[in-house]
Amino acid sequence: MHNKTVAELSRDLESGQVSSVELTRHFLDRIQQQDSQYNSFITVTEEQAMAEAEAADQRRQRGDATPWTGIPFAQKDIFCTRGVRTTCGSKMLEPFVPPYNATVTQRFEDAGAVSLGKTNMDEFAMGSSTESSYFGATTNPWGERRVPGGSSGGSAAAVAARLTPAATATDTGGSIRQPAALCGITGLKPTYGRVSRYGMVAFASSLDQGGTMARTAEDNALMLNVMAGFDPRDSTSVDQPVPDYTADLAQPLNGLRIGLPKEYFTDQLSPAMADAVQSAVREYEALGASVREISLPHANLAIAAYYIIAPAECSANLSRFDGVRYGYRCKNPEDLLDLYTRTRAEGFGSEVKRRIMIGTYALSAGYYDAYYAKAQKVRRLIRQDFIDAFDDVDVIMSPTTPSPAFVQGEKTSDPVTMYLEDIFTISTNLAGLPAMSVPAGMIDGLPVGLQIIGRYFDEARLLNVAHQFQQATDWHLRTPND
Ligand code: GLN
């Protein structure tokens, strides 16, 4: 049962071959038996899940089911869930039980999906390995002591271990695509503004975007059908019609123009990774696509610009955690200043503190123009590079990550090496473009991903391009065990 896709499970529920109660019980049992190895969940909502499953079965009998009615899924612990603790991987929010649902959560609830619980993540989504979680690191099901990537490592590991058929995630600089690649699953970061950020704990508001993780492109399309759309409660959400993202999956790829950025394929890219991408590209040529080299001249500035802009925004967003309103509060404060400083010193982990300090510095008088304003100008140049490139091509392809999953602890002492994990993913966040990661090979027994970047709001095409690849290859069907 756990090897089936969302699309297959949805058909089984529809035909009455299985009930949501049976399905939900099955996944809850797997979580209970196996998750001690992975630590992919922070909170499992067993009782609530079983109640939702019963309600879903009744709804199906009444004849008003959606494709999601009765389908179990998991939610990154960054989405506010009414009555269910939402920690964002931090001690700061350990006791926080939101009184409302994030829009994404609400939409799955309205569709009748069954939430199994909340998945582990890097603290406040800052990281690339899920090692900075206050609730302990998540382990990649593909390799003992290997990281699952991050920050959505819990969602990716849970899908890869088939503890859930699908999971929500967020991506500020790569946090959907990089863990999807390292765990051998399929993930999509939509266009900025496509999915509501309401109720999604903010890290860097101009970059954060909610998205999807599942084993196939088709399942990502089914997820996006639920998640996408205008939300008056998020002023950055875009009022554009939502297509049926499954409608174009079967379109042939004849005439598709693929661009390969020359800046990404240098001798610094490992030969094994270059080979994996080249074979994927050959597969696309066999499917009727043409390939050309393109240039993204400012690609080498993306990491530097991001590590000014993201910390600047995070330092402002995280100022709300002051021990007064909600979340953690230090014991016996002497006065207001002591309350603020000790709450923050005790409540945040070291990566979050590092970012707040960098961001505060970059925004301070005298440095603002030199760092923050400069980074914003670079951001505009990076965006323009993509706009120019898309004059000649329909999609851009690259590796998702520089290498497969690394060993836990390998990069924790050197933040800059950790930051380089996102070298291929970060510029699309700066530009606001949609991008996917699709399983595209194995290196030393570990999965690697192909990144596919599209034009603004071209998610349907990305999903089509990914789906056609998955009709021709079986990388997405490989599983780490049983
Ligand atoms: N790894 C990047 C960072 O630490 C991106 C994280 C994310 O996308 N949330 O900022």
pLDDT, tens only, 242-269: 999 999 999 999 999 999 999 999 888 9
| Residue 482 clears pLDDT 90, i.e. is over it | no
Ligand 1 pocket mutation, candidates 122, 124, 307, criterion most atoms within 8 A of CB: 122
pLDDT interval class at 118 (50, 70, 90)? very high
| Residue 404 clears pLDDT 80, i.e. is over it | yes
Distance 176 CA to ligand 1 centre (A): 9
pLDDT top residue among 415 and 148: 148
DSSP string across 404-446: SPPBTTSSTT-HHHHHGGGTTTHHHHHHT--EEEEEEEEETTE
For residue 190, what are the contacts with CB-CB under 8 A and spacing of at least 6?
209, 210, 211, 212, 224, 227, 228, 434, 459
Residue having the nearest C-alpha atom to atom 10 of ligand 1? 126
Q: Is 151 in the pocket of ligand 1 (CB under 6 A)?
A: yes
Distance 9 CA to ligand 1 centre (A): 32
Domains by residue range for the chain, with CATH:
1-482 (3.90.1300.10)
Q: Is 422 in the pocket of ligand 1 (CB under 6 A)?
A: yes
- Of 413, 443, 451, residue with least CA distance to 143: 443
pLDDT interval class at 46 (50, 70, 90)? very high
- What is the average per-residue pLDDT within 100-111? 98
Which atom belonging to ligand 1 lies closest to the Cα atom of 128?
A: 1
Distance 123 CA to ligand 1 centre (A): 10
- What is the average per-residue pLDDT within 375-401? 98
Which atom belonging to ligand 1 lies closest to the Cα atom of 418?
A: 1
Which sequence positions are flagged as catalytic?
A: 76, 151, 175
| Residue 340 clears pLDDT 70, i.e. is over it | yes
What confidence tens digit (pLDDT) does each residue in 151-188 have? 999 999 999 999 999 999 999 999 999 999 999 999 99
- What is the average per-residue pLDDT within 280-308? 98
What share of the chain in percent tops pLDDT 70? 100
pTM over cut 0.75: yes
pLDDT on residue 481: 79
Q: Which residue has the tokens 């996944």?
A: 27
For residue 306, what are the contacts with CB-CB under 8 A and spacing of at least 6?
173, 207, 422, 426, 429, 430
pLDDT on residue 326: 85
